DNA sequence: AAAAAAT
């Protein structure tokens, strides 16, 4: 094995030594000011509200307003329409409109420094032995395979400096301690900044959130200011980010707050299970980017408290989940049947680690002349996660888990065990396993959809902090959640779909650390035998002989379509279809697609510096 | 069949 930045990161004692000079709270302006006017002293003199250069159609059903040129290319002329009275647009009736940074501080609007808690996080980190689950991971990015298809693909960048994200964004990138863009960021950010639609497959934990947030925030800052409607209490966000779970929406919101700190771009989150009134109040204070789960958003749309007329940027995280059977109708309603601008008018970006072909076909309804990007990551389902499969009959699962946990506890220092995430199939199963673990001396908690949102968030905090180092979860926790220090993922019950397995094990092995994934396999998982054996084989994992045996006898199954699990989360179905039927799910043949373009990633992280993982 | 997502 070679060595890489991941080692220097994990082994560095200086991680907390990075200076954090943003502890001074800075007040922000009292009334809502369009982003491009903020941090711009020239905006001091409000000019009378001029006619907006473009307006949404208030008939509400054309949905095709062309904002500032439309098509896809975003206008660069960001300074027009300065001070045209946005602040008077209906909110904060009490305070007079002050469209600039120098006037009108108001405590209520003070922007909380989103970085202050990072110090605490670092303290927690010290509690975990950083090196414990780190194995050598050499030059992890030297040979990242990349597939790109589409017309006129913008070239990738090697540094954040090459892309002009603006000084405020650059500061935030430094505050996040990112030095270099991750592979998916290197490719996706230029594509997004060029205004192109994008379907991006990138491994779990590869920095997808920043990949779509940076261009949206930058775009909103530089876009021509367009006056939004004053229709009652309705708000008109410019960017919309949808995700399949409440916790993931929260996480994206937290990240986006950091990226947008002091840029003037306001990010608000809305999701179910929490007070809608509080969310409404947040929205009324102004929103540029709305992060939401589908159910709550539909509610807000039906109450006419949110309108999508002004949306220019739409991002779907975990896009394949968002378009599967459970979610598709809601997503279609939001994207196609409300007042969102049409594809081609807005810019649409879909991100996921997995992209089944069927879902790609559905997704193409939402996209216009899009670029398909698949960036493999050394890690996740490949090198960084050690995958084990054990044959465990249903009745032995609990005692088998207990054996694993005891062994793990003995290996730990000071009785402190690394975090273990246990996936089960059902909500009831989660509760009962958690209870059983607790009474057997393993402090555990559980997260699933039958728990209140308060309980869910408490469980997550308690797990992250190490207070209950075991979390029993349903698939609600399978996707996207970034929980540092998860050393072990146990598939107590295996999922029926190999893509779900990929997402679940992706909860470990994050940010360059290694991880262990153990699966309990038995006769009820036969349909998964074949895709699982193949996935493990492709990831250079040891495949037990009995599994190979099952795989050779089992029919195809465990996946909505056989190629989705492919090497790097999938190929562009547009290319695949041009090859005709291509059924070599196995054998790593790649169906003749253009994998293997070296990403030419320089590595070279300084000790104590992390990259822009998501 | 289950999970998630609005009240």
**Dist. CA A26–CA A29, nearest whole Å:** 10
Contact A492, A517 (CB under 8 A): no
Helix (H) or strand (E) holding A222: helix A208-222
Q: Is the pLDDT of residue A308 over 90?
A: yes
Q: Write the pLDDT tens digit of every residue in A562-607.
A: 444 444 556 888 876 664 433 322 223 333 233 333 333 333 233 3
Q: Which residue's alpha carbon is at the shortest distance from the C1' of B2?
A: A426
Determine the pLDDT at residue A232.
Answer: 76
Using a pLDDT cut of 70, give the percent of chain A over it: 65
Angle A322-A160-A134 (CA atoms, 0-180°, nearest 5)? 70
Whether the Cβ atoms of residue A103 and residue A41 lie closer than 8 Å to each other: no
Q: Which two tokens stand for residue A34?
A: 């369009």
Q: CA-to-C1' distance for A527 and B1, Å?
A: 15
Nearest nucleotide over every DNA/RNA strand to the A428 CA, judged by C1': B2
Length of chain A: 614
- Chain segment A196-232, per-residue pLDDT in tens: 999 999 877 778 999 999 999 999 998 766 666 666 7
More confident call, A418 vs A117:
A418
Range with lowest mean pLDDT among A313-322, A470-479, A592-601 = A592-601
b/e per residue, A37-47, with b = 16+ CB within 10 A?
bbbbeebeebe
d(CA A603, CA A4): 7
Q: Tokens standing for A602?
A: 């320089």
Strand partners, A445: A471
pLDDT above 90 coverage of chain A, percent: 53
CA nearest neighbour of A195 among A373, A362, A35, A349: A349
State the pLDDT at residue A497: 92
Distance in Å from B4's C1' to A297's CA comes to 15
Q: Phi, psi (5° rounding) for residue A536? A: -65, -40
Distance, CA of A193 to C1' of B1, in Å: 43
Does residue A30 carry a pLDDT above 60?
no
pLDDT of A560:
52
| Residues near A587 by beta carbon (within 8 Å), at least 6 away in sequence | none
A299: the nucleotide nearest its CA (via C1') is B6
Helix (H, G, I), strand (E, B) or coil at A239: strand
Predicted local confidence at residue A512, as pLDDT: 65
pLDDT value at residue A261: 95
Name the token pair of A163: 């892309």
pLDDT value of position A384: 78
* All residues at 6 or more sequence positions from A16 whose CB lies less than 8 Å from its CB, including other chains: A119, A122, A123, A125, A126
Closest nt to A329 (CA→C1')? B5
Q: Which residues contact A170 (CB under 8 A, 6 or more apart)?
A: A160, A161
Q: How far is the CA of A380 from the C1' of B1 (A)?
A: 29
What pLDDT, on the 0 to 100 scale, is given for residue A385?
87
Contact criterion met (CB below 8 Å) for A522 and A392: yes
Contact between A598 and A142 (Cβ < 8 Å): yes
Does this model's pTM top 0.95? My answer is no
Strand B contact nucleotides, protein CB < 7 Å: 1-7
Decide: A541 and A387 in contact? Cβ < 8 Å: yes
State chain A's mean pLDDT as an integer.
Answer: 75
């Amino acid at each position: 094995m070679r060595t890489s930045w991941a080692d220097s990161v994990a082994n560095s004692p200086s991680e907390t030594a990075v200076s954090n000079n943003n502890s001074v709270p800075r007040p922000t302006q009292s009334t809502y000011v369009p982003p491009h006017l903020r941090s711009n002293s020239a905006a001091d003199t409000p000019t009378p509200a001029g006619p907006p250069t473009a307006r949404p159609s208030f008939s509400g059903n054309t949905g095709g307003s062309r904002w500032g040129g439309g098509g896809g290319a975003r206008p660069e002329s960001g300074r027009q329409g300065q001070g045209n009275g946005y602040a008077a647009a209906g909110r904060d009736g009490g305070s007079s409109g002050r469209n600039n940074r120098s006037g009108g501080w108001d405590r209520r609007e003070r922007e909380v420094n989103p970085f202050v808690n990072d110090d605490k996080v670092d303290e927690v980190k010290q509690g975990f032995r950083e090196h414990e689950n780190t194995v050598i991971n050499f030059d992890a990015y030297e040979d990242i395979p990349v597939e790109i298809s589409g017309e006129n693909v913008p070239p990738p960048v090697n540094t954040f400096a090459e892309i002009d994200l603006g000084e405020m964004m650059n500061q935030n990138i430094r505050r996040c301690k990112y030095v270099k863009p991750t592979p998916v960021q290197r490719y996706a950010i230029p594509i997004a900044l060029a205004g192109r639609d994008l379907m991006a497959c990138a491994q779990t934990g590869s920095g997808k959130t920043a990949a779509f947030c940076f261009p949206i925030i930058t775009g909103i800052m530089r876009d021509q200011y367009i006056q939004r409607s004053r229709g009652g209490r309705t708000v008109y966000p410019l960017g919309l980010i949808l995700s399949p779970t409440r916790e993931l929406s929260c996480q994206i919101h937290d990240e986006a707050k950091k990226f947008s700190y002091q840029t003037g771009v306001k990010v608000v989150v809305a999701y179910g299970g929490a007070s809608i009134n509080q969310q409404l109040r947040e929205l009324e204070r102004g929103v540029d980017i709305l992060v939401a789960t589908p159910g709550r958003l539909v509610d807000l749309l039906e109450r006419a408290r949110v309108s999508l007329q002004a949306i220019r940027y739409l991002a779907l995280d975990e896009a394949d989940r968002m378009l599967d059977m459970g979610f598709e109708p809601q997503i279609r309603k939001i994207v196609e049947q409300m007042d969102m601008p049409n594809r081609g008018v807005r810019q649409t970006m879909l991100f996921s680690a997995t992209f089944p072909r069927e879902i790609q076909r559905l997704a193409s309804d939402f996209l216009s002349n899009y670029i398909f990007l698949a960036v493999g990551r050394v890690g996740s389902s490949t090198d960084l996660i050690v995958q084990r499969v054990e044959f465990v009959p249903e009745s032995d699962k609990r005692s088998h888990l207990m054996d694993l946990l005891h062994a793990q506890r003995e290996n730990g220092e000071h009785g402190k065990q690394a975090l273990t995430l246990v996936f089960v199939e059902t909500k009831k199963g989660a509760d009962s396993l958690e209870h059983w673990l607790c009474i057997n001396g393993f402090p555990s908690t559980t997260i699933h959809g039958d728990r209140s949102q308060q309980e869910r968030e408490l469980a997550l905090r308690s797990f992250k902090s190490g207070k209950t180092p075991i979390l029993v979860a349903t698939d609600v926790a399978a996707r996207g959640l970034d929980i540092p220090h998860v050393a072990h993922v146990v598939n107590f019950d295996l999922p029926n779909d190999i893509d779900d397995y990929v997402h679940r094990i992706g909860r470990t092995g994050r940010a360059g650390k290694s991880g262990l994934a153990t699966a309990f396999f038995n006769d009820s998982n036969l349909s998964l035998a074949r895709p699982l054996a193949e996935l493990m084989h492709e990831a250079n994992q040891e495949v037990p002989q009995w599994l190979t045996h099952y795989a050779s006898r089992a029919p195809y199954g465990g996946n909505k379509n056989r190629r989705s699990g492919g090497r790097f989360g999938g190929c562009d179905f547009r290319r695949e279809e041009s090859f005709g039927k291509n059924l070599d799910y196995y054998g790593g043949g790649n169906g003749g697609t253009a994998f293997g373009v070296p990403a030419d990633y320089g590595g070279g992280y300084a000790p104590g510096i992390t990259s822009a993982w998501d």
